[in-house]
Structure 1
Amino acid sequence: MSVKAITELLEALITIHHELNKAAGQKVELIKKGDMPALEELVRAEAKLVRKAQATESMREKVVRTFLLSKGKVTENATLAEVKEWATTEEREQLDALQQQLVTELHLLKRQNELNQQLIEESLRFVNLSLDLMVPHQEDISYKRPNERDDQPYDTGHSLFDSKA
Structure 2
Amino acid sequence: MVQELIQIFQAMTVVHERFNEQAFKKEEVIKKGDMAGLDQVLKGESALIQHLRKLENTRQHLIQQWMDEKGLVKENVTMDQLLPLLPEKEREDLSNWQNRLVIEIQKLKEQNELNRQMLEDSLRFVNLSLDAMHPQNQFSSYSGTGENEDEDDFDPGKRSLFDSKV
Give the TM-score band, short-chain normalised: 0.7 to 0.9
CA distance in 1, matches of 2:92, 2:117: 38
Quote the Cα distance in structure 2 between the aligned partners of 1:145 and 1:111. Answer: 53
Q: What residue identity is the alignment partner of 2:151?
A: Y
Match of 2:83 in 1: 84
One-letter code aligned to 2:68? L
Residue 100 (structure 1) shift = 0.5
* Structure 1 position 147, deviation (Å): 3.4
C-alpha separation in 2, matches of 1:146 and 1:82: 79
Deviations 1:75-101 (A, max 9, x none): 111222333223111111111101111
- Superposed CA deviations along residues 19-59 of structure 1, whole A, max 9, x for unmatched, are 01110111111011111111101101101111211121111
- Structure 1's 144 and 8: CA in aligned 2 closer, same or farther, altered over 3 A? same
1:72 aligns with 2:71: yes
TM-score of the two chains, using structure 2 as the length reference? 0.84
- In structure 2, list runs of 5 or more residues that go unmatched: 153-166
Q: Which residue of 2 aligns with 1:34?
A: 33
**What is residue 116 of structure 2 aligned with on the other side?**
117
Q: Map Cα deviations across residues 85-134 of structure 1 (whole Å, 9 max, x no partner).
A: 23111111111101111111111111111110000000011111111112
Tell me the distance in 2 between the aligned counterparts of 1:49 and 1:148. 66
Cα distance between partner residues in 1 of 2:110 and 2:141: 51
The more displaced of 82-91 and 101-110 is 82-91
Look up the SS of the partner of 1:138 in the other structure: coil
Distance apart, 1:146 and its partner CA? 2.5
| Other-structure match for 2:150 | 153
SS in 2 for 1:147: coil
SS, match of residue 77 in structure 1? coil
Check the 8 A contact 1:20/1:49 in 2, yes or no: yes
Q: Could you say which residue in structure 1 is the equivalent of 2:130?
A: 131
Alignment root-mean-square deviation, CA: 2.0
Letter in 2 for 1:43: L
2:16 equivalent in structure 1: 17
2:138 aligns to what SS in structure 1? helix
Provide the residue aligned with 1:160 in structure 2. none
Largest Rg, 1 or 2: 1
For 1:106, the equivalent position in structure 2 comes to 105
- Are the counterparts in 2 of residues 68 and 83 from structure 1 also a CA contact under 8 Å? no
Residue in 2 that maps onto 1:59 = 58
Q: Which letter maps to 1:126?
A: F
